[in-house]
């Protein structure tokens, strides 16, 4: 659904603090979820413009949450929020569709700018005769720890071949503008 530029923005914050309010913008509703399951339930009920995902979900692994969210809401726009996001976590997040990474909860101004940009981009695509929706591209599964550490495995449990595939997929998505 294409939203008007001045329409109220709906944000879902998952295991993150309240954004700092700055500036005067059109109405912005921020809904909070304190668990991954609560967030998935909320996503089924609400049409949100942007999702802020914290690094620590108390009830499920981050990879499980991201896979479920991408399976049920493939067009969802979301950002990862965490103080110490490693390079590996960044690659996985971007592979799973993160548009942005924040080291702290963004302000309402930053959120407004991201959502406004996304709405302008969607409007340009529609006016150019292209579909608002991109075709769903299934991401590589999130790597999980292997039951053994062979000669090609790192101590994190992700085989180097898996790491190379993730990095290659990330590079392809970035160069394709996805």
Question: What is the domain partition of the chain in residue ranges?
Answer: 9-137, 143-178
Q: pLDDT of 1-50, one tens digit each? A: 444 455 788 999 999 988 776 665 667 888 999 999 999 999 999 999 99
pLDDT for the residue 53:
96
Q: pLDDT of 44-87, one tens digit each? A: 999 999 999 999 999 999 889 999 999 999 989 999 999 989 99
Place of tokens 């994190």: 156
The CATH superfamily label for domain 9-137 reads: Response regulator (3.40.50.2300)
Place of tokens 């950002």: 79
Rounded Cα–Cα distance for residues 134 and 169 (Å): 17
Q: pLDDT of 89-98, one tens digit each? A: 999 999 999 9
Tell me how far CA of residue 124 lies from CA of 18, 35, 120, 129, 178, in angstroms: 31, 35, 6, 9, 16
The pTM score is 0.67
Tell me how far CA of residue 58 lies from CA of 16, 88, 150, 171, in angstroms: 12, 21, 31, 31
């Amino acid at each position: 659904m294409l939203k008007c530029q001045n329409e109220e923005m709906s944000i879902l914050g998952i295991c993150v603090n309240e954004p700092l309010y700055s500036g005067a913008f059109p109405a912005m509703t921020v809904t909070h979820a304190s668990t991954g399951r609560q967030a998935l339930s909320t996503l089924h009920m609400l049409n949100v413009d942007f999702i802020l995902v914290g690094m620590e979900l108390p009830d499920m692994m981050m990879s499980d949450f991201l896979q479920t969210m991408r399976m049920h809401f493939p067009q969802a726009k979301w950002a990862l929020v965490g103080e110490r996001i490693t390079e590996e976590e960044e690659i996985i997040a971007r592979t799973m569709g993160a548009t942005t990474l924040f080291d702290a909860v963004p302000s309402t101004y930053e959120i407004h700018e991201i959502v406004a940009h996304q709405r302008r981009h969607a409007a340009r695509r529609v006016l150019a005769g292209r579909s608002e929706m991109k075709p769903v591209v299934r991401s590589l599964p999130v790597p999980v720890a292997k039951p053994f550490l062979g000669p090609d495995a790192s101590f994190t449990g992700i085989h180097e071949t898996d790491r190379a595939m993730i990095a290659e997929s990330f590079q392809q998505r970035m160069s394709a503008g996805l």
